[in-house]
């Protein structure tokens, strides 16, 4: 088994496969995975080529990728690669630059190595647990915003597909509360970049009312290593069994959580 520094190098080489393909190859055929949920031929190719590379460069590590059925992260597994070949597929398919290749190494349910590359923003992120997180080689630090009304907060996409209307009652209630209480609300369409931008201090917080390991594993480590508090809607420390992923500067985390709790209560009363 390689050490974490060696595995970071493996992961960085892996996401560069995605970087090169995204910047030289079009999406190809765009397929529906569900109502308004897309996958492109390139998503599938990137996942296939990165999986093949990882199996050769770091044999014996379990692989979990978003495409072709995804799966469930075994939080008791020794080591698992969690990959989103293109996080923000809809953005990518429409020519929007907010998309990324996101890869994390998860050890018994906790991310220990994270890499992410946003090819059209020329951003490369990496982190090792306990060693800080970096954007283009520069160490990242969470925002120091202390007031919610001065905070820039991003939210995850609205739900699509089966039961979307019911799921979106909660999201819409939260959006309303955020609009009334924070400086600006943003929706980037990429959970990976939501978390990376909080880690960088570009935004002050993000709220993702979902929690797929390929979407969040790398970003969670990037954020935590930058001093961001990552929790769920109960206020407990985020893990991959959580229903939500809430990342915020520690100075506004409690106030932001209060809005989430209020939104849930209001939705349940309607």
At the top level of CATH, which class does the domain 4-139 belong to? alpha beta
| Residue 160 buriedness (CB in 10 A; 0-12 / 13-18 / 19+) | middle
In this structure, whether the domain defined by 148-269 belongs to CATH 3.40.190.80 is answered with yes
Tokens at 159, concatenated: 């739900």
Q: Which residue has the tokens 């309607």?
A: 270
User: Quick one: average pLDDT of 154-159?
Assistant: 91
| Residue 119 buriedness (CB in 10 A; 0-12 / 13-18 / 19+) | buried
Q: Which of 75, 79, 99 is nearest to 87 (CA)?
A: 99
Q: What is the pLDDT of residues 15-37, one digit of tens each?
A: 999 999 999 987 766 666 554 46
Q: What is the pLDDT of residues 180-195, one digit of tens each?
A: 999 999 999 999 999 9
Tokens at 204, concatenated: 């002050």
Locate the DSSP E strands across 61-181: 62-65, 80-87, 100-107, 110-118, 123-128, 133-135, 138-139, 152-155
Q: What is the pLDDT of residues 194-225, one digit of tens each?
A: 999 999 999 999 999 988 899 999 999 999 99
Q: Which of 100, 57, 99 is nearest to 81 (CA)?
A: 57
In the chain, CATH 3.40.190.80 sits at 148-269
Q: What is the pLDDT of residues 62-80, one digit of tens each?
A: 999 887 666 677 777 889 9
Q: What is the pLDDT of residues 76-104, one digit of tens each?
A: 788 999 999 999 999 998 999 999 999 99
**Residue 222 neighbours by CB distance under 10 Å:** 33
Whole-structure pTM value: 0.93
């Amino acid at each position: 088994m390689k050490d974490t520094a060696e595995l970071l190098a493996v992961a960085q080489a892996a996401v560069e496969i995605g970087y090169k393909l995204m910047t030289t190859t079009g999406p190809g055929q765009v397929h529906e995975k569900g109502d308004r949920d897309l996958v492109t031929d390139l998503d599938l190719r990137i996942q296939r080529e990165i999986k093949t590379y990882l199996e050769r460069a770091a044999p014996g590590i379990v692989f979990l990728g978003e495409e072709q059925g995804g799966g469930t992260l075994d939080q008791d597994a020794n080591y698992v690669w969690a990959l989103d070949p293109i996080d923000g597929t809809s953005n990518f398919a429409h020519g929007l630059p907010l998309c990324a290749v996101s890869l994390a190494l998860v050890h018994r349910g906790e991310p220990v190595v994270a890499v992410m590359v946003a090819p059209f923003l020329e951003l490369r992120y990496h982190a090792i647990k306990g060693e800080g997180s970096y954007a283009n080689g520069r160490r990242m630090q969470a925002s120091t915003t202390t007031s919610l009304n001065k905070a820039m907060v991003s939210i995850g996409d609205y739900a699509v597909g089966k039961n979307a209307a019911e799921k979106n009652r909660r999201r819409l209630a939260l959006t309303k509360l955020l609009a009334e209480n924070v400086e600006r609300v943003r929706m980037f369409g990429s959970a990976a970049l939501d978390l990376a931008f909080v880690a960088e201090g570009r935004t002050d917080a993000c709220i993702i009312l979902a929690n797929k390991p390929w979407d969040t594993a790398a970003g969670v480590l990037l954020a935590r290593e930058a001093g961001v508090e990552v929790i769920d809607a109960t206020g407990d420390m985020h893990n991959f069994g959580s229903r939500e992923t809430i990342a915020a500067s520690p100075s506004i985390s409690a106030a932001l959580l209060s809005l989430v709790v209020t939104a849930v209560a209001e939705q349940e009363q309607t």
